[in-house]
């Protein structure tokens, strides 16, 4: 396995790799290159890097212009500023025209840590998912972050990549296939289904280990793609398990839990329970990432307890 690293570092390294492969790749940032790690690309390809300063709307509008000129722009900033402040430009200048722009937003979720609730985007997946033409991807580890970045470059149309800040271990293998829109079954089990995305997938796997010690066989289905959503994989898993728990570092509204419920309505028997482990319609707050995961009930222990409760 590759060494642990931040997803933002894996993203920056993937950009450098892309820059060597494809001369049409350009990278845009909003005066945060040292935080988003687009500086890695800027150091190698300075003539293909553009800093738009603290002007995220201009950043996204310019990215649309680069795409219309035949280039492949990656526009990066913090998730709150990209998905939030520049939302209308993303909607009308990028997605409305199905423009080939890749939006990679770092510092997503509460794992931003001490920056606090004003900078912790817990609604970005919902905001991007509701936009027509947008593909939405939330990788779980550095290996998958690289694959997602390369895959985004090869797609035609707008893509939103959710990039996390903390250093995390690799839980997937470089040889594992990565197909946009297709879920990955990381662990099989017939009692309970743990459906996860982003940084919560590692926690779901640890929860499955805890449940196994209790005699509960938990399957872990990783949804790296929030849109298009792999409804069939979720329905197939529901058909052979006694309940489901969704796991996301995002608001319970509009993200993974919503996707799963939309996929299952009308496809599961009455009484089949789907319970969320998510941020329950609240803002973030300042603190160390792991302390915040505990405060908001997003730990492996929380997932295991919720799963055991579903089966009662």
Question: Would you please indicate which residues are annotated as catalytic (active-site) residues?
Answer: 56
Cα(1)–Cα(233) distance, integer angstroms: 27
Angle between helices 231-238 and 256-264 (to 10 degrees): 70
> Residues 6 or more apart from 312 whose CB is under 8 A from it?
none
Closest CA to 196 of 225, 235, 170: 225
Between CA 277 and CA 298 the distance in angstroms is 6
Rounded CA-CA distance 176/143 in Å is 10
The backbone region for 109, taken as left when phi is positive above 0, alpha when psi lies in -120 to 50, beta otherwise, is left
Yes or no: say if 155 and 22 are a contact pair by the CB < 8 Å rule. no
Q: What share of the chain is helix, strand, coil (3-state, %, to 5)?
A: 40, 20, 40
Q: Could you identify the residue written with the tokens 């482990």? A: 277
Q: Which residues pair with 299 in a beta bridge?
A: none
CA distance 259 to 127: 13
């Amino acid at each position: 396995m590759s060494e642990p690293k931040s997803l933002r570092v894996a993203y920056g390294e993937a950009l450098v790799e892309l820059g060597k492969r494809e001369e049409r790749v350009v990278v845009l940032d909003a005066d945060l290159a040292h935080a988003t790690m687009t500086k890695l690309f800027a150091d190698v390809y300075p003539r293909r890097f553009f800093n738009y300063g603290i002007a995220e709307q201009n950043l996204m509008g310019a990215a649309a212009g680069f795409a219309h000129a035949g280039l492949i722009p990656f526009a990066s900033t913090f998730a709150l500023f990209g998905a939030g402040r520049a939302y209308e430009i993303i909607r009308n200048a990028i997605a409305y025209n199905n423009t080939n722009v890749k939006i990679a937003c770092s510092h997503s979720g509460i794992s931003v840590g001490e920056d606090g609730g004003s900078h912790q985007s817990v609604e970005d997946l919902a905001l991007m998912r509701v936009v027509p033409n947008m593909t939405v991807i939330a990788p779980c580890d550095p290996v998958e972050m690289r694959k997602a970045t390369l895959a985004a470059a090869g797609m035609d149309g707008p893509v939103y990549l959710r990039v996390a800040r903390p250093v995390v271990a690799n839980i997937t293998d470089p040889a594992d296939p990565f197909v946009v829109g297709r879920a990955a079954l990381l662990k099989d089990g017939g009692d309970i289904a743990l459906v996860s995305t982003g940084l919560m997938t590692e926690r779901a796997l640890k929860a499955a280990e805890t449940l196994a010690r209790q005699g509960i066989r938990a399957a872990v289905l990783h949804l790296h793609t929030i849109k298009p959503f792999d409804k069939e994989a979720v329905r197939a898993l529901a058909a052979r398990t006694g309940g489901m728990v969704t796991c996301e570092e995002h608001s319970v509204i509009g993200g993974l839990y919503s996707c799963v419920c939309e996929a299952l309505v009308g496809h599961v028997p009455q009484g089949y329970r789907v319970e969320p482990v998510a941020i329950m319609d609240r803002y973030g707050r300042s603190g160390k990432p792991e302390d915040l995961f505990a405060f908001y009930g997003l730990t492996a222990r929380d997932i295991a307890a919720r799963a055991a409760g579903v089966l009662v």
